[in-house]
Amino acid sequence: MAVSRFLFADQLGPHFDDGGPLLMVEAVGVLGRHPYHRAKAHLILSALRHRVRELGDRVELLHAEHYRDVLAGRDLEAVDPTSWGARALVRELGARVLPSRGFVTSEDEFAAWAQGRPPSRLVMDQFYRHVRTSTGLLMRGPDPEGGRFNFDHDNRRPPPKGASGLGLPDPYRPVEDDIDEQVRADLDRLEAEGRIRLIGQDGPRRFAATRAEALTALADFVETRLGDFGPFEDASLLGDDAMAHSRLSVPLNLGLLHPREVIDAVVAAYHAGEAPLQSVEAVVRQIMGWRDWVWHLYWHLGEDYVRRSNHLDAQTPLPREFLELDGRTVRARCLSHVLDEVGRTGYAHHIQRLMILGNWALQRGYRPAELTEWFTNAFVDGTPWVMPANVVGMSQHADGGIVATKPYASGGAYISKMSDYCGSCTFNPKKRLGEDACPFTAGYWAFLDRVEPRIRGNHRMQQPLAGLRRLVDRDAVVEQERTRTQW
């Protein structure tokens, strides 16, 4: 019998298919392992079933509780999968394993670049420059297009004053079909039977689950949002959940789109004079820089990176509002809005993840490993490989400075400047003491007070720590936040 290529549910695009016989497995036990957001479980099943329908008799679809139940004893090959667990599985099954795909740079290329560099010298920006230079993307000979590798400095615009949104057309949304209807019914049944546990609300599918939808979403992004992507990358508005973000992480992480396709499309728009360099460079950096970077770090930092990382000794369990994605009783407008959005859709854009959810968790000392699992389960684009560097490293500083050189903590003033959240909030971003003291502003000082002994040696934290020492009401603020019940 011919060797079959076993495709995982995040290997769905043409770049995982070399033309031979294919095998896919719908394993309910995998869905039942964690309390996933309903929209995420829906996307995975919908994408897998759509791919099976497209491939017709080229693919054998098996149903099982666990992969092993139906794969043991088969003659298999696999493109190296995307989690430690899945890699162990394909090896245990004796599959022929091909190098991983779906990223701009190969694992060998990263290994060669990282060789001899201690963890403290693994800097994303340097890796990004290396990849720009080696691919020649956005380069003019040896020099970066526009004279700089990074246009972030031009990209920190607050949202337009008084606007409720950026005024862009609604982002592309797929139209559901019979497969989605069946997926919804199956999820209802599995949940009723107690075989899976779901969080978040049901609703029409918002993200691409087929190759055709992914290409349409990409074209729509380039046409309607790319130009504003750079300038408003860090801004948030209550009336605009998409802002100028691409919402392409789902099809990228399902393997429906290759990252080079996105990069080539935005670079082509730049060369055609249809998009500014500051936006195009920003997209290229997010994908070829950050996305590849966190992928390689997942392997490079080791299987126990999440478990062993708690540099700031964060020991608070996640509260009910996070676990149930319920912002209704949260008074902090920024936090309640983002929690509700995640509950409704399974998505929030980058700055909401980093500066609202991550910042809050950092200040309140939520356990990094628990938070990583929460993000992975609650977000439609959450995967085992994408979360560790983003959550443990970037947003929680729990690795002590490998991914980010300082904790991403900020008070209400930053949130107030970069969003319209504070205008309708019961708290006041300028106040750190009293009934209406902003829990982010006061929380920022209480956080610095708590972690001061552990970050004292960080030269980038000297200025904030000097501010903390000058705070006349430091003890009162710390006590207020220690006993805070309303947030």
Residues that bind ligand FAD (CB under 6 A): 245-249, 252-253, 283, 286-287, 290-291, 294, 349-350, 353-354, 358, 375, 379, 381-382, 386-387, 390-391, 394-395
- Among ligand FAD, ligand SF4, none, the one that 386 touches (CB under a kind-dependent 5 to 8 A) is ligand FAD
Cβ proximity to ligand FAD, 190 vs 208, nearer residue: 208
412 binds ligand SF4 (CB under 6 A): yes
- Among ligand FAD, ligand SF4, none, the one that 334 touches (CB under a kind-dependent 5 to 8 A) is ligand SF4
Instruction: Mark the segment that binds ligand SF4 (CB under 6 A) among 76-84, 124-132, 299-307, 424-432.
Output: 424-432
CB atoms within 10 A of CB 5: 23
Instruction: Mark the segment that binds ligand SF4 (CB under 6 A) among 150-158, 244-252, 261-269, 330-338.
Output: 330-338
333 binds ligand SF4 (CB under 6 A): yes
Q: How far apart are CA 309 and CA 321, in angstroms?
A: 24
Token pair of 135 as six digits: 């691919």
Cβ proximity to ligand FAD, 6 vs 421, nearer residue: 421
410 binds ligand SF4 (CB under 6 A): no
Q: Exposed e or buried b for every residue in 116-138, given b needs 16+ CB within 10 A?
A: eeeeeebebeebbeebbeeeebb
- Among ligand FAD, ligand SF4, none, the one that 438 touches (CB under a kind-dependent 5 to 8 A) is ligand SF4
- Among ligand FAD, ligand SF4, none, the one that 425 touches (CB under a kind-dependent 5 to 8 A) is ligand SF4
Q: Which position among 270, 295, 421, 444 is part of the footprint of ligand SF4 (CB under 6 A)? A: 421
Q: Which position among 155, 279, 416, 480 is part of the footprint of ligand SF4 (CB under 6 A)? A: 416
Alpha-carbon distance values, 320 to 4, 326, 449 (Å): 45, 8, 26
Binding mask 286-325 for ligand SF4 (x = CB under 6 A): ----------------------------------------
End-to-end CA distance of the chain: 62
Cβ proximity to ligand FAD, 82 vs 253, nearer residue: 253
| Sheet of 96-98, strand order | 59-64, 22-27, 4-7, 76-79, 96-98
Q: Which position among 174, 259, 439, 464 is part of the footprint of ligand SF4 (CB under 6 A)? A: 439
422 binds ligand SF4 (CB under 6 A): yes
- Among ligand FAD, ligand SF4, none, the one that 377 touches (CB under a kind-dependent 5 to 8 A) is none
- Among ligand SF4, ligand FAD, none, the one that 314 touches (CB under a kind-dependent 5 to 8 A) is none
440 binds ligand SF4 (CB under 6 A): yes
We find the least distance from the C-beta atom of residue 429 to ligand SF4, in angstroms, to be 4
We find the least distance from the C-beta atom of residue 233 to ligand FAD, in angstroms, to be 7
- Among ligand FAD, ligand SF4, none, the one that 390 touches (CB under a kind-dependent 5 to 8 A) is ligand FAD
Q: Which position among 270, 293, 366, 427 is part of the footprint of ligand SF4 (CB under 6 A)? A: 427
241 — phi, psi (to 5°)? -75, -25
We find the least distance from the C-beta atom of residue 390 to ligand FAD, in angstroms, to be 4
Contacts of residue 43, Cβ cutoff 8 Å, sequence gap at least 6: 205, 207, 209, 250, 254, 380
Alpha-carbon distance values, 371 to 3, 44, 366 (Å): 40, 22, 7
Instruction: Mark the segment that binds ligand SF4 (CB under 6 A) among 284-292, 303-311, 343-351, 425-433.
Output: 425-433
Interface residues with ligand SF4 (CB under 6 A) are: 332-334, 412, 415-416, 421-422, 425, 427, 429, 438-440
